[in-house]
């Protein structure tokens, strides 16, 4: 007998191109479901679903799952928040605010640090987080991408002062840290700069 459940999740890239990872917002429990376009690339340049933008990586959705012999199938969904996640391993340079954020953490002996960044008029337009690499122990970038280290707490913190949606960039850069940047205005100049720097058109 089939069981149907409803849950609020974030859409993340799956383990292969043929699936999505649905990460439960409150508990971070993972559910892997098949996607209808198995030829899609979970590491594509825009992290967008070609068949339904409601299932772009990062979107917060209310999902209905049909469990057939223990295997989940996504049967319907409603988009609650159109935040986008982008995951990149890149040699492109990081901006100065990220460097300063990491140096502050290193001087304080901390593994993580955060800094609010501002536009030329002094208005907050983003938040940067640096997470120090842990060679030989953990791949923090992979943990973010695979949902083992949820981004939800960072988004909740950003939402205390700015209404979502956001644009979130998780970058494995050529530095001794993983960089997470939350862009508060997905249509603003900071988002444009991120796209130009990290290779996404339009």
- Own/partner long-range contacts of 25-29 (Cβ < 8 Å, ≥24 apart): 25/60, 25/152, 28/147, 28/150, 28/152
Tokens 């909740």 appear where? 156
pLDDT reading at 43 higher than 50: no
SS3 155: helix
Q: Are 113 and 194 members of one domain?
A: yes
One domain for residues 75 and 122: no
Two structure tokens written together for 131: 């997470």
User: Are 91 and 188 part of one and the same domain?
Assistant: yes
Write out pLDDT tens, residues 88-98: 999 999 999 99
User: DSSP for 3-52?
Assistant: EEEEEEEEEEE-SSTTEEEEEETTT--EEEEE-S-TT--TT-SS---SS-
Question: Do 117 and 190 lie in a common domain?
Answer: yes
51 and 21 within one domain: yes
pLDDT at res. 4: 94
Inter-residue contact 113 to 55 (CB < 8 Å):
no
Verify that 9 and 95 share a domain, yes or no. Answer: no
Cβ-based neighbour number of residue 25 at 10 Å = 19
At 112 the pLDDT is 97
Residues 78 and 126 in one domain: no
Among 82, 113, 142, the domain boundary falls at 82
| pTM of the shown model | 0.90
DSSP string, 119-142: -TTS-EEEEEEEEE-BTTTB-HHH
Average pLDDT over residues 65-74: 91
Residue where a domain terminates, one of 82, 114, 134: 82
If asked whether residues 42 and 111 sit together in one domain, one would say no
- Assign residue 78 the CATH number of its domain: 2.40.50.140
Overall number of domains in the chain: 2
Separation of alpha carbons 71 and 55, rounded Å: 19
**Residue 41 burial (10 A CB sphere; 0-12, 13-18, 19+):** exposed
Same-domain pairing of 54 and 138: no
113 with 159, same domain: the answer is: yes
Determine the Cα–Cα distance for residues 191 and 166; give it in Å rounded to an integer.
Answer: 10
CB 169 within 8 A of CB 88: yes
The two tokens of residue 53 are 């933008």
**Which residues constitute the domain of residue 162?**
86-198
Q: Are 131 and 114 in contact (CB under 8 A)?
A: no
Strands 30-34 and 71-81 come out as unpaired
Percentage of the chain beyond pLDDT 90 is 82
- Yes or no: say if 169 and 194 are a contact pair by the CB < 8 Å rule: yes
pLDDT digits (tens, 9 = 90+) for 13-40: 999 989 999 999 999 999 999 987 655 5
Do 150 and 72 share a domain, yes or no? no
Whether residues 96 and 42 share a domain: the answer is no
Q: Indicate if the pLDDT at residue 42 is higher than 80.
A: no
Examine the fold and report which residue of 29, 57, 82 is the final residue of a domain before the chain moves on: 82
* pLDDT above 80 for 73: yes
């Amino acid at each position: 007998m089939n069981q149907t459940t409803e849950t609020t999740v974030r859409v993340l890239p799956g383990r292969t191109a043929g699936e999505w990872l649905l990460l439960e917002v409150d508990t971070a429990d993972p559910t892997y479901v098949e996607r209808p376009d198995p030829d899609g690339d979970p590491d594509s340049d825009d992290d967008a679903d070609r068949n339904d933008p409601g299932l772009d990586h990062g979107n917060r959705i209310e999902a209905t799952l049909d469990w057939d012999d223990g295997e989940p199938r996504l049967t319907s969904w409603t988009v609650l928040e159109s935040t986008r996640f982008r995951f990149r391993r890149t040699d492109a340079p990081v901006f100065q605010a990220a460097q300063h954020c990491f140096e502050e953490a290193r001087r304080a002996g901390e593994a993580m640090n955060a800094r609010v960044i501002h536009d030329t008029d002094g208005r907050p337009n983003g938040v940067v987080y640096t997470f120090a690499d842990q060679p030989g122990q953990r791949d923090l970038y992979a943990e973010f991408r695979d949902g083992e280290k949820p981004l939800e707490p960072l988004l909740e913190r950003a939402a205390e002062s700015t209404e979502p949606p956001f644009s979130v960039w998780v970058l494995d850069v050529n530095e001794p840290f993983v960089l997470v940047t939350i862009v508060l205005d997905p249509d603003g100049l900071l988002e444009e700069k991120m796209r130009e720097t990290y290779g996404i058109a339009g």
